[in-house]
Amino acid sequence: MNEVLKLWNTRRQEYWITAVKYLRLIGNSGFLFTIYLLFLFGSYYYGRFLEWLPETFPAVSFFTIIFAWMAARGRVRTFTKQADLVFLLPMEKRMKPYFRSSFRYSWFMESVWLTLALLVLAPLFTDRIAFGGEPFFIVLASLLLLKGWNLAASFEEQRIQGENLYRVHKWGRFLINGSVLYILFSTLSIPATAAAGVVLLLLHVLYFSRIQGTLQWQRLIEIESNTVRTFYRVANNFTDVPHLKESIKERKWIAWVTNGVSYGQRNVYKYLFGRAFFRSGDYFGIFVRLTLIGMLFLYAVDLVWGMWLMAALFSYMTVLQMETLGNHFRLSQMPDLYPVGKRTLTAGLQYWLVLLGSVQTVLFAGITAGNMTAALPVLVITGGIYAYVIFFRVPAKYETE
């Protein structure tokens, strides 16, 4: 028993030693300062948002959906590795202490995120559902217990062999969470919530704990790999992460953009970076999300200087993320096949930053077009930030290394 616990502690420590190094790099970057400014600006507008929100807003349904998703998502993190299929699978019956530690660790980490989400939504909760500390703590305690139930149920589901049945279970738990949370948020009744808790407990004892079969170790390894890859993908936006194994998304529907790059030696990196942007590393998703959220902020803010600030922050965050395309092939041997220099790499990166910057500049200026006092400066600020990065920062960074 002591040996498997020692193994679990060693793996957890190894992960956090690596993670802390990357967290320090993220903390030292300007990105967090941008998030801090957005937080301050958002807190100013939170009160005004609550005043603007109509009385008919379905707050109970909103909280139910948000927290049903948060309670159902997440899995027991086991720190398993590919080699465990050979070395640990045969001793599965002796691994209970290992998995109990994994459950406690996962419940603590997931509880932190759940609590943060509830704290962020606390003003809306006290304004539309219930005022006072007691209802808030009743909801918080119920959510944490529900999270524990979900993690325990999801671990038992790892014994299910068929993927279709596995997906049915996940959707079934989401619906169960939704039903329990709707009762909680609509009544805030301790007896009703306790009764729901008893039903969940019986459901676990009579059904989930009786799911037969051995654990699907390959699925446990995939869950662990996906969790680690998500963290490394975030860190990769700030520094090179050799541990990162990219996932590829084909996205045929938008392949015509990269197919427009003409064939030629000087266009090698234009083509490679285009393919990387649309197919890997989630660059495309980050660009779309930051652009849409930026437009939403620009539309919601009614202060002219606030629009300037939002345009600057979101264009800076976007170009900072897109600039990392330049490092995408650094650890790959494929570009070494092409006899091209660093200038070609820089030109390829600049090509895509110009395109993306033009799209975002037009959209940001367009959303503020109703206020010409704001639209022209937004156009200049967004374009100026992209121009600085494209023509000064990128050459200095990629041609001198």
Each residue's pLDDT tens digit, 304-363: 888 888 889 889 888 888 888 887 777 777 777 777 777 888 888 999 999 999 999 999
Does 298 reside within a domain? yes
Residues 6+ apart with CB under 8 A from 394: 323, 326, 346, 349, 350, 353
Confidence of residue 383 (pLDDT cuts 50, 70, 90): very high
Whether residue 173 is predicted with pLDDT greater than 90 in this model: the reply is: yes
Place of tokens 């279970």: 169
CB neighbour list of residue 86: distance below 8 Å, 6 or more residues apart: none
Nearest Cα neighbor of 240 from 22, 394, 3 is 22
Q: pTM of this prediction?
A: 0.70
3-state secondary structure of 289: helix
Q: What secondary structure letter does DSSP report for 73?
A: S
8-state DSSP, 240: -
What is the C-alpha radius of gyration for the chain, rounded to an integer number of angstroms?
25
Q: How far is CA 153 from the centre of its chain?
A: 23
Residue 246 included in any domain: no
Residue 97 belongs to a domain: yes
Domain range spanning residue 264? 252-399
Comparing C-alpha atoms, which of 213, 225, 241, 209 is closest to residue 84? 225
36 within a domain of the structure (yes/no): yes
pLDDT band at 401 (very low <50, low <70, confident <90, very high): low
Residues 217 and 265 in one domain: no
Q: Which helix (H) or strand (E) holds 223?
A: helix 217-235
Q: What is the pLDDT of residue 65?
A: 93
Q: Could you say which of 210, 237, 264 is where a domain stops?
A: 237
Q: What is the pLDDT of residues 248-277, one digit of tens each?
A: 777 777 777 777 777 887 888 888 888 888
Q: What is the per-residue DSSP string for 297-348?
A: HHHH---HHHHHHHHHHHHHHHHHHHGGGGGTTTT-SGGGGS---HHHHHHH
Contact, 173 vs 204, CB < 8 A?
no
Same domain, yes or no: 177 and 272? no
Q: Is 285 found in the same domain as 158?
A: no
Whether residues 49 and 112 share a domain: the answer is yes
User: Which run of H or E residues covers position 282?
Assistant: none
Domain count, the chain: 2
The DSSP symbol for 242 reads T
C-alpha–C-alpha distance, residues 290 and 285, integer Å = 9
**Residues 221, 292: one domain?**
no
Judgement on whether residues 52 and 82 belong to the same structural domain of the protein? yes
Least confident segment among 99-108, 273-282, 309-318: 273-282
Within a domain: 379: yes
Distance CA 185, CA 60 (A): 6
Identify the domain boundary among 183, 204, 237: 237
CB contact at 8 A, 157 and 169: yes
| The one-letter amino acid at 220 | L
Residue 247, amino acid: S
Give me the mean pLDDT over the 18-40 stretch.
73
Regarding whether 293 and 173 lie in a shared domain, the answer is no
**Helix or strand (DSSP H, E) at 59:** helix 59-72
CA 189 distance to own-chain centroid: 33
The pLDDT score that the predictor gives to residue 52 is 76
Task: Check pLDDT > 70 for residue 244.
Answer: no
Find tokens 């002219």 and name the residue.
304
Burial annotation 142-164 (CB, 10 A radius, 16+ → b, else e)? bbbbbbbbbbbbbbbbbebeeee
Output the six-digit token pair for 38: 């957005």
Q: Note whether residue 56 is domain-resident.
A: yes
Task: Name the β-bridge partners of 337.
Answer: none
The whole-number average pLDDT for the span 380-396 is 90
Q: Tell which of 211, 237, 263 closes a domain.
A: 237
Are 265 and 169 part of one and the same domain?
no
218 and 284 inside one domain = no
**CA-CA distance, 212 to 83, in Å (whole number)?**
24
387 shares a domain with 310: yes
What 3-state DSSP class applies to 266?
A: helix
Q: Shortest CA distance to 378 belongs to which of 304, 317, 292, 268? A: 304
Q: What are the start-end ranges of the E strands in 2-137?
A: none
Place of tokens 């808030």: 136
**pLDDT bucket at 224, cuts 50 / 70 / 90:** confident
Model confidence at 238: pLDDT above 70: no
| 225 and 78 in a common domain | yes
Give yes or no: residues 156 and 191 share one domain. yes
Q: Please, what is the average pLDDT of the chain?
A: 84
Give percent of the chain with pLDDT exceeding 90: 27
Give the span between the Cα atoms of 109 and 103, in whole angstroms: 10
Residue 245 lies in a domain: no
Helix (H, G, I), strand (E, B) or coil at 248: strand
Q: Which amino acid would we find at residue 253?
A: W
Picking from 26, 60, 41, the residue whose alpha carbon sits closest to that of residue 293 is 41
Instruction: Work out the percent of the chain whose per-residue pLDDT is above 70.
Output: 92
188-193: long-range pairs with CB below 8 Å, 24+? 188/129, 188/130, 188/135, 188/138, 188/139, 190/138, 193/138, 193/142
Does any domain span residue 292? yes
For residue 74, the 8-state DSSP code is -
DSSP state of 90: G
Taking only the tens place, the pLDDT of each residue in 132-156 is: 778 888 899 999 999 999 999 999 9
